[in-house]
Amino acid sequence: MSDDHSRCRVPVDVRRAGSAERLEDSVAVETAVALVYNGISHAVMMATPDDLDDFALGFSLTEGILHTPDELYGIEVREESAGIAVHLEIATQRFMELKQRRRSLAGRTGCGLCGTESLEQAIRPIGRVAAPAVDDAAIQQALEALKWHQPLQRETGATHGAAWCDLGGQIQLAREDVGRHNALDKLIGAMLSRRLSVGDGFALVSSRASYEMVQKCASAGIGCLVAVSAPTSLAIEQARQAGLLLVGFARTGRHVIYHQPVREAVPVVQASGG
């Protein structure tokens, strides 16, 4: 991660009990990032300008623009006066489908519904996933390690983190962004570009678990989402539909399981007598 891109230094007045001193503070950078598909701008998101290749791939997959990473042929990141444009070259079939349902997503940080044209578009059908067996100790171990994988958050206090953890609770990969959706998209893009197996772990996010976060995980085949804050009612409903293990309020020493998929019992085969 490039410190020059992800943060900047600004002068601030620090006041303590009536006294003041002039210092510099680290501030997370938030900028407009346009996603341009085959020459046509489709979405403008406010994001931290790092790991944009991962963000573009993750967003494209979790929004259903692409079905597989192989349908992305190339990415070029261009800095412009008003922000950053990420140009993606995608498969012709996917581009034709995108043009048919094209909508503007320009909006605030992490806004997932800006420009949605109908109720049907707002809540897309969610696919089924296979929930892994994740024990309590693995969740707690990953939670304890998360802060060490959020250097930008430690320095600025203004970003969210998303981490991929193995079934033992070891963090394998992490991404940060000012937007929680963006952080998860960056993580998913990084995972899929590296061909990591989504069945061998769980996603941990430093935010609440909204329904969009559940949707994004399910679209990538991730079967377990652990969130530091609470889930929403629709997130729980979507987790039930998808068969996703959903954990919220993950704090030191405790966490709450909001949906635990029922695992089918393995039939017992009786040995026949000789």
Q: Provide the annotated active-site residues.
A: 111
Q: Return the structure tokens found at 21.
A: 């001193």
Confirm if 32 and 77 have CB atoms less than 8 A apart. Answer: no
What Å distances lie between residue 86 and 51, 109, 195, 221, CA to CA?
Answer: 11, 17, 22, 25
Which amino acid is present at 273? G
DSSP class of residue 159 equals -
DSSP class of residue 115 equals T
Q: Return the structure tokens found at 236.
A: 């729980």
Which amino acid is present at 266? V
Confirm if 244 and 225 have CB atoms less than 8 A apart. Answer: yes
Choose among 221, 13, 67, 65: nearest CA to 130: 221
Confirm if 72 and 66 have CB atoms less than 8 A apart. Answer: yes
Decide the pairing of beta strands 40-47 and 201-205.
unpaired
Dist CA 146 CA 217 (whole Å): 18
Owner of token pair 């192989």: 70
Dist CA 161 CA 149 (whole Å): 8
Confirm if 207 and 213 have CB atoms less than 8 A apart. Answer: yes
Confirm if 48 and 178 have CB atoms less than 8 A apart. Answer: yes
